[in-house]
């Protein structure tokens, strides 16, 4: 009797595993059903969007982005280095001319960012309970950008990667 029950349990487990594998690997993928009115609405939305952008479909007023080299900064307090901060800064420019200006001044911007953030982080201004205040960092980087390349060149400062590692 025990062998019969054990055999039945094994058979059920193997059958369940086989059925699960079939449905996971071989079953048809689900497709979204789209009716005729939905297709027409999608085409109309694409046409409206293209009309807003211009005749060629490319927006003339798009933003340009410049990704700077990663910044690695130590956070130092009275006990020494407590954590390191890794940042990848992306600058948003409104025109190709401003993008070129940013690219030409990239070494100066990186140096100014390191100087500003090193002081800010060491004084614990941008930290609250050991956690980085991202908006404070963005505001500081924006001020430094305006000082280095001039006002109205950098539209916004974006922090693509923010990583804190305790030591």
pLDDT at 42 over 90: no
Between 44 and 144, where is the model more confident? 144
pTM to 2 decimal places: 0.60
Query: How many CB atoms are located within 10 Å of the residue 141 CB?
Result: 25
Q: Which residues of 71-108 are buried (b: 16+ CB within 10 A; e: fewer)?
A: bebebeeeeeebbebebebebbbbeeebbebbeebbee
* 56-80: average pLDDT: 78
Name the one residue in this structure whose structure tokens are 């030409």: 104
pLDDT at 138 over 80: yes
Q: Using DSSP, state whether 73 is helix, strand or coil.
A: strand
**How high is the pLDDT of residue 57?**
47
User: At the fourth CATH level, which superfamily is domain 64-166?
Assistant: Band 7 domain (3.30.479.30)
Q: Which of 84, 58, 60 is nearest to 72 (CA)?
A: 84
pLDDT at 55 over 50: no
pLDDT at 31 over 90: no
Burial class, 122, CB count within 10 angstroms (exposed 0-12 / middle 13-18 / buried 19+): middle
Domain borders along the chain are: 2-53, 64-166
Mean pLDDT highest for which of 32-36, 53-57, 75-79, 132-136? Answer: 132-136
% of the chain with per-residue pLDDT over 70: 78
């Amino acid at each position: 009797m025990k062998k019969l029950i054990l055999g039945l349990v094994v058979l059920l487990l193997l059958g369940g595993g086989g059925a699960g594998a079939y449905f996971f690997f071989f079953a048809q993928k689900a497709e979204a059903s789209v009716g005729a009115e939905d297709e027409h609405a999608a085409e109309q939305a694409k046409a409206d969007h293209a009309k807003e952008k211009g005749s060629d479909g490319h927006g003339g007023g798009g933003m340009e982005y410049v990704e700077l080299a990663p910044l690695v900064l130590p956070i130092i307090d009275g006990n020494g280095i407590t954590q390191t901060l890794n940042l990848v800064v992306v600058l948003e420019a409104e025109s190709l001319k401003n993008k070129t200006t940013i690219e030409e001044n990239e070494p100066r911007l990186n140096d100014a960012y390191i100087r500003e953030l090193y002081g800010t982080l060491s004084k614990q201004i941008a930290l609250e309970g050991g956690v980085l205040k991202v908006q404070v960092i963005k505001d500081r980087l924006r001020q430094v950008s305006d000082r280095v390349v001039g006002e109205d060149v950098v539209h916004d400062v974006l922090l693509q990667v923010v990583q804190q590692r305790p030591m």
